[in-house]
Amino acid sequence: MALKNAEAYKESLRSLNLKVYAGGERIQNIVDHPLTMPHVNSAAMTYELAHDPTAEDLMTAVSHLTNKRINRFTCIHRSTGDLIKKVKMLRMIGQRTGTCFQRCVGFDALNALFSVTYEMDAELKTEYHQRFCQYLRYIQENDLMVAGSMTDPKGDRSLRPHQQADPDLYLRLVKKDRDGIFVRGAKAHQTGIVNSHEMLIMPTVALGEEDRDYAVACAVPTDAPGVLHIFGRQTNDERKFGTIDQGNARYGIVGGEALTILEDVFVPWDRVFMCGEHRYAGALVERFASYHRQNYGGCKAGVADVIIGSAALLAEYNGVAGASHIRDKLTEMIHLNETLYCCSLACSSEGHPTPAGNFFVNPLLANVVKQNVTRFIYEICRISHDIAGGFIATLPSEKDLLHPETAGYIDKYFRGKDSVKTEDRIRVARLLENMTGGTALAESMHGAGSPQAQRIMILRQANIDHKKNLARALAGVTTGC
């Protein structure tokens, strides 16, 4: 079955033997547990839309391996058109869910490993690319959700992996034999991993000879023996046990991140795609990061569309939609959001083929996309708070809204325009509050790498020497430093 629907996806999760802990207890059923259910629902949208005739062109692609129609989240980009469709798809799903739908990291990991394993084989005469293509076929034919697993805990950031007091602070190879390898360590901030079928492990930094044991790329089932997930707290996550206070009750906020521990996990050789080839770790990191930074002008633009819509609704409910300063603020939000989107489209349209045949984004523009997100989303959120008013931060709980002694007062004193139900005003306010809260903003800042990581890549990709030569030519000088 190449294309699961939402229910088939949820049923496939029920069959996993996941070891997930949250709030001091083990979650036995991630599909229906209040903490994880919204994230499952959001990821399920990526399966449901693949069966929507109006979304099929963006949501599906044809596999170059099998010539069958597959979910686009499992495809390999074969043209700039594929890169552009990816961005348009992400914005569309962001508009439908108002949150992270979690399949992007694995999508980007698949495409980064596709090209890097090809180049490794070409130079080293290894068989990684052939193995990877077999794995990719398995993912496509079963329409599996893959969690891209790159970020390590890192410990002391001033030290290289092999210099850490605890060698497990970067995931590493601990043993290998004729059947496969054993890995130990952890992966942090793992978006959507508790509702994924597979984790695709990659190194998190460029590595030297002394760090060769950390140069590991492999695929591990999320419920493999020795794998344990500790679900992360989110801002106001206790509200997930209610409805109104949660804001986005069906799809949640951000992506349901977890810390994933691997205690001497066995990986058979047919699932190993790098094992000690440290010189390729940096290329894999940079390629993955560029693909992932491309995304943010798509998914974040879709989510920001909902934020803008929420602010505009509250302006109407507050009776100020016609004020010139409100229209001007909405215009600024739209301008910032479309700037994010067009930069993602630009880095896609400027893409180019790799030796493996898949297409890679323009890395300079991809890093500019993410750098813009670290600023523009904050400004969009700030303006939305300005438009909405202070009541989004001081609303009573939904329990008070439903309590017989307090409900009437809340209905009376939290009403805006008389034609709008107070509960509707509160529901939109809670949506905006939760979408613009701490966790969502932190993900915009640090997801796909901290702002400094993009600035390093922007300077590296900018070709300053070429720009200096342009200046020399126009100035008529021949000397240089």
Closest among 56, 53, 78 to 65, alpha carbons compared: 78
The verdict on whether 316 is a catalytic residue reads no
CA–CA distance, 326 with 312 (Å, rounded to integer):
8
- Which is catalytic among the residues 191, 204, 354, 436? 191
User: Residue 475: is its pLDDT beyond 80?
Assistant: no
Please enumerate, as own/partner, the contacts of 314-318 that have beta carbons within 8 Å and a separation of 24 or more.
314/387, 314/388, 314/389, 314/392, 314/425, 314/428, 314/429, 314/432, 315/387, 315/388, 316/417, 316/420, 317/416, 317/417, 317/420, 317/424, 317/425, 317/428, 318/388, 318/389, 318/416, 318/417
Average pLDDT over residues 311-340: 94
- Which is catalytic among the residues 277, 286, 433, 443? 443
AA letter at 428: V
> How open is the CA angle 167-123-352, to the nearest 5 degrees?
95
- Which is catalytic among the residues 75, 104, 275, 347? 104
Residue 324 neighbours by CB under 8 Å, 6+ apart:
none
- Which is catalytic among the residues 214, 251, 296, 317? 296
Q: In terms of residues, how long is the chain? A: 481
The verdict on whether 100 is a catalytic residue reads yes
Say what the pTM is: 0.89
CA–CA distance, 5 with 47 (Å, rounded to integer):
5
The verdict on whether 292 is a catalytic residue reads yes
- Which is catalytic among the residues 100, 343, 347, 381? 100
Of 18-32, 137-151, 242-256, the poorest mean pLDDT is in 242-256
The verdict on whether 299 is a catalytic residue reads yes
Of 108-112, 237-241, 251-255, the poorest mean pLDDT is in 237-241
User: Residue 55: is its pLDDT beyond 90?
Assistant: yes
User: Residue 236: is its pLDDT beyond 70?
Assistant: no
Q: What is the pLDDT of residue 391?
A: 87
Closest among 290, 353, 279 to 78, alpha carbons compared: 353
- Which is catalytic among the residues 198, 257, 277, 398? 257
CA–CA distance, 358 with 352 (Å, rounded to integer):
8
Q: What is the pLDDT of residue 248?
A: 82
User: Residue 470: is its pLDDT beyond 90?
Assistant: no
pLDDT tens for 433-466 read: 888 875 555 555 545 565 667 777 777 777 778 8
Bridging pattern class, strands 216-221 and 25-27: unpaired
The verdict on whether 104 is a catalytic residue reads yes
Instruction: Count helices and strands (H / E) in the chain.
Output: 15, 14
Q: What percent of the chain has pLDDT over 90?
A: 79
- Which is catalytic among the residues 170, 292, 317, 381? 292
Domains of the chain (ranges, CATH numbers): 283-468 (1.20.140.10)
User: CA separation (Å) from 209 to 167, 176, 278, 286, 313?
Assistant: 15, 18, 7, 19, 57
